[in-house]
Homo-oligomer: A and B are copies of this chain.
Amino acid sequence: MIRTCALTSAGVIKYDLSLRSLKKPDIVWYWVDFDQPSNEESQLLSKHFRFHPLAIEDCLEFVQRPKMDFFDKYVFIVMHYLNQKTLSPEEVDVFVGSNYIVTFHKKSVRGLNNTWARVRKDTALQQGPMTILHAVMDQLVDDYFPPIYRIEDRLNEIEEATDSDSSVSDIMDEVFDIRSDLSKMRRTVLPMRDLLYRILNSERIAHVNDQKIYFQDIYDHLLKITELIEANREFTSDIRDNYISINSDRMNSIMMTLTVITTIFMPLSFIAGLYGMNFTNMPELRGHYNYFIVLAVMVLISIGMTLWFKKKGWFRFSKRSKL
């Protein structure tokens, strides 16, 4: 679908004018939005607007990082926003000329629709293409915060609840997936940040100076988002490292239990086995008190082993380490 919106010299916002009529002299500026355009509609980028083939190629394929290209009479900007469900980047392409702005996107963009609806009422938005660009971009960037805060909350939950019911390998898998999501976001946010930096410092964008403080506000948000992403990535690796070191401790405790039990009972069982042998001539078996002597020896062995482990500090350690 292609929809249009224009400010007439009478100061009125008109929607749904034809592309032709947008070029009439009483149009102060206009905005054309390619909203999930069909192939035929997409061809208007070249047929009607005569944009550069490389820019059009960038619109039609999705292999672009956020960026800004300068052409003679317009600026071409590629922006990303975060699909709130998949946390994958989606693309919005923008052409900004002196008196027009053209937006192009293959999916419906909530933030852009909001702006579209607000143009009619909000006179601040009616100042021209750069204001529209700022309004759209501001909303796309604001949408990065909720998923990051959701991730941060989830990581805090995971960190606190190490004794929850869910399987540990499930938790590791979730931490791993969160790491992937953060990487994916970072790949989108870093070039967005660079894009804003260029917009702020470029001498070639008309009118941006008047609006610098507004784009600076978006840039602030992107800096903040970058920091949140980095902090949360560090958080995931800390959780993993923490988990591994606690696990290694737990393993020590388990192996100590096993070793203590084995080391005490193996010699005892051997002695029992020894006197269970059926040799016809085993003099020890015949003494009246020998059974009790052997029992006493077994008790002494147990006590000796226990003292030895105590001296080596195994019991203290075993107590110290929680499962």
A residues whose Cβ falls under 8 Å from a Cβ of B: 52, 54, 57-58, 63-65, 67, 69, 71, 145, 159, 163, 165-170, 172-173, 176, 179-180, 183-184, 187, 213-214, 216-217, 220-221, 223-224, 227, 231, 234-235, 237-238, 240-252, 254-259, 261-263, 265-270, 272-282, 285-291, 294, 312-314, 316-317, 320-323
Residue of B nearest to A261 (CB): B263
Q: A69-B213, A167-B322 are in contact. Are A183 and B234 (CB under 8 A)?
A: yes
Nearest chain B CB to A198 CB, angstrom units: 13
Q: For the complex, give the distance between the alpha carbons of A284 and B189 in Å.
A: 76
Of the candidates A163, A243, A291, the one having the most CB atoms from chain B within 10 angstroms of its own CB is A291
Q: For the complex, give the distance between the alpha carbons of A313 and B321 in Å.
A: 13
Residue of B nearest to A312 (CB): B323
- Inter-subunit contact B251/A255 (CB<8 Å): yes
- Inter-subunit contact B242/A245 (CB<8 Å): no
Nearest chain B CB to A199 CB, angstrom units: 16
The 9 lowest CB-CB distance pairs between A and B, nearest first, are A272-B273, A279-B291, A275-B277, A265-B266, A276-B276, A258-B259, A167-B320, A176-B242, A169-B246
Q: Which residues of B have CB within 8 Å of A170?
A: 322
Of the candidates A54, A246, A247, A277, the one having the most CB atoms from chain B within 10 angstroms of its own CB is A277
Q: Which residues of B have CB within 8 Å of A167?
A: 320-322
Q: Which residues of B have CB within 8 Å of A277?
A: 272, 275-276, 278, 285, 291, 294
